[in-house]
Chain A
Amino acid sequence: MTLLDIHGLTIRTADGHTLVDDLSLTVAGGERLGLIGESGSGKSLTTLAVLGLLPDGMTVTGSIGLAGTQIVGAREKHLTRVRGRDAAIVFQEPLTALDPLMRVGRQIAEPLARRQGLKGTELQRAVTRALEQVRLPEPDRIARAYPHEISGGQRQRVALAMALACEPKLLIADEPTTALDVSVQAEMLDLIDTLVRERDMAVLFVSHDLAVVARVTDRVLVMKDGRAVEEGDVREIVRRPREEYTRALVGSARRLESALDARRAR
């Protein structure tokens, strides 16, 4: 069953620049797809388009089918119902993704109350459960904290908890670990991997880092300048990149990695 079906997606700015050009991809229920690209490749815009969150003034053509709903051209009222239930997103920068003036617990409670109709102590317990799920220590303390009072890694876990609260069919993660420390990144990737597996959730994972994407997804789509360059199995692409751009990408990543290995072997 196809969960996300993007066909011929083209995104243009008001003055006619094409940012995403005739992009097509599909994600089946429970499947994981990585979107690889460097800055300006249009990968983040694509994820925003899936949720109908593109900034004003951009024109979208083509079709985006999300769990049977056509997103392109849909009314805001319609989109609100889709967001959270069918797809939820985790952004790169957790500090700006959370409301700085609202306690963490309340921010998680909001989607829980809306989607599951919980109230009172039941809601309280659901919030604690949601925070426990993302392996946050002392969930009760975190629930009472404001976003700036917890660390970057903890904030990103909270953002993940919020995204999972509505039990979406598709989790979109847009560079979710780029702003994190290496050791925190490793934990976060494991966490996403586990939680998604438990829920049999589909994932669209966006990153500029091949190695990071490979940790979470099996299939990747390489983007450059708004176009799909190459698509296939991660291992296959890393081993035998077909297109020149993919070769450059893999080559760069390999070279940095080999420096590490050479130095360690010496």
Chain B
Amino acid sequence: MTPEVQTPVLELSDTSLRYRGSGAPVVQDVSLAVESGRSLALVGESGAGKTTLLRLLLGLARPTSGTVRFDGDALSLRDREQMRRFRRSVQCVFQDPYSSLDPRRRVGGIVAEPLRSLGLDTRRTAAPKVAEALERVGLPADAAERYPHEFSGGQRQRIAIARATVCHPRVLLADEPVSALDVTTRIKVVDLLAELKQERGLTLVMVSHDLSVVASLCERTAVLERGVVVEQGDTARVLGDPAHPYTRRLIDSVPRLPA
């Protein structure tokens, strides 16, 4: 490990979130740090609070207690200047490639949205950046003129990745980005994400229940069970020498190919 003292890009400290009217908090006293260049996996099953955690990290939900920090400063949803910097630095890819693209917009418009909304570009100056982003995810040049329904699930996920990376963010949050894809397609999207990590210095925060995908892409892993982080550390350590019985059970449950 390098002994650098860097400020984490994103940090949750003792964060809890309880929805109004419900008893137990969905996430409880979670402390996590996303350091630049060290991709983090949030592993867990239904009801573990993965999606809620992601919403906190995306600044879409406010914690009931605890803080969310961005570059060391507490994230304030009211601070427009900070939010603009935050939105530019932290982007997101979703699980369902069918619900994450507006069916009534052309792909070019979809990919350009962060550039336009963040006031970085006009329609004209955005066009070459959109073309570049689409090319990088391996889509044909004419994709920008077409509509999402003309693309398959794997291609749609590529479009979503192009949208999330077009403004050169530092962190990409990904919510089960490949679990809706076929195995052969899954590999290709995992490869694309690995490439973006390598070439663009992108740090991934990936919510997933698929340990093999986590192992392929993330240096660090946090295991969640019912809203609580039961174990976190280097992926190699967590998967190779799990300390918590729940982690062990997860690893043992992964179906394996016959030897």
Partners in one complex: yes
Interface residues of A (CB under 8 A from B): 38-39, 151-152, 181-186, 189, 208-212, 214-215, 234-235, 238, 248-250, 252-257, 259-260, 262-266
Report whether A209 and B183 are in contact in the complex, using a CB–CB cutoff of 8 Å: yes
Measured between C-beta atoms, what is the minimum distance from B38 to chain A in Å? 14
Cα A61 to Cα B13 in complex, Å, equals: 63
Q: A256-B216, A260-B211 are in contact. Are A181 and B257 (CB under 8 A)?
A: no
Report whether A259 and B257 are in contact in the complex, using a CB–CB cutoff of 8 Å: no
Q: Total contacts A to B, CB within 8 angstroms? A: 94
Measured between C-beta atoms, what is the minimum distance from B226 to chain A in Å? 13
Dominant secondary structure at the B interface: helix
Report whether A259 and B182 are in contact in the complex, using a CB–CB cutoff of 8 Å: no
Report whether B253 and A186 are in contact in the complex, using a CB–CB cutoff of 8 Å: yes
Cα A165 to Cα B206 in complex, Å, equals: 41
Cα A38 to Cα B183 in complex, Å, equals: 8
Report whether B45 and A235 are in contact in the complex, using a CB–CB cutoff of 8 Å: no
Chain B residues near A39 (CB-CB < 8 A): 153, 182
From B249, which residue of chain A is reached at the shortest CB distance? A183
Report whether B256 and A211 are in contact in the complex, using a CB–CB cutoff of 8 Å: yes
Measured between C-beta atoms, what is the minimum distance from B115 to chain A in Å? 32
* B212 contact from A235, A238, A249, A257, Cβ within 8 A: A257
Interface string of B84-110 (1 = CB under 8 A from A): 000000000000000000000000000
**B250 at interface by CB-CB < 8 Å:** yes
From B241, which residue of chain A is reached at the shortest CB distance? A264
Pick the interface stretch among B126-134, B168-176, B232-240: B232-240
Measured between C-beta atoms, what is the minimum distance from B47 to chain A in Å? 9
Report whether B215 and A263 are in contact in the complex, using a CB–CB cutoff of 8 Å: yes
Report whether B253 and A260 are in contact in the complex, using a CB–CB cutoff of 8 Å: no
Cα A189 to Cα B235 in complex, Å, equals: 27
Chain B residues near A185 (CB-CB < 8 A): 253, 255
Cα A151 to Cα B45 in complex, Å, equals: 12
**B230 at interface by CB-CB < 8 Å:** no
Report whether A249 and B236 are in contact in the complex, using a CB–CB cutoff of 8 Å: no
Report whether B252 and A186 are in contact in the complex, using a CB–CB cutoff of 8 Å: yes
Which residues 188-241 of B have a CB within 8 angstroms of A? 190, 209-213, 215-216, 235-236, 239-240
Chain A residues near B236 (CB-CB < 8 A): 263-264, 266
Chain A residues near B212 (CB-CB < 8 A): 256-257, 259-260
Measured between C-beta atoms, what is the minimum distance from A54 to chain B in Å? 23
Cα A263 to Cα B241 in complex, Å, equals: 11
Report whether A255 and B249 are in contact in the complex, using a CB–CB cutoff of 8 Å: no
Measured between C-beta atoms, what is the minimum distance from A130 to chain B in Å? 25
Report whether A256 and B184 are in contact in the complex, using a CB–CB cutoff of 8 Å: no
Measured between C-beta atoms, what is the minimum distance from A18 to chain B in Å? 19
Chain A residues near B251 (CB-CB < 8 A): 264
Cα A238 to Cα B183 in complex, Å, equals: 15
* B209 contact from A182, A235, A266, Cβ within 8 A: A182
* A182 contact from B45, B185, B215, B235, Cβ within 8 A: B45
Q: A186-B255, A257-B256, A264-B215 are in contact. List 7 more A-B contacts (CB 8 A).
A: A189-B255, A250-B257, A253-B183, A253-B257, A256-B190, A263-B239, A264-B251
Cα A212 to Cα B253 in complex, Å, equals: 11
Cα A212 to Cα B209 in complex, Å, equals: 15
Chain A residues near B46 (CB-CB < 8 A): 151-152, 181
Measured between C-beta atoms, what is the minimum distance from B107 to chain A in Å? 21
Report whether A264 and B240 are in contact in the complex, using a CB–CB cutoff of 8 Å: yes
Chain A residues near B45 (CB-CB < 8 A): 181-184
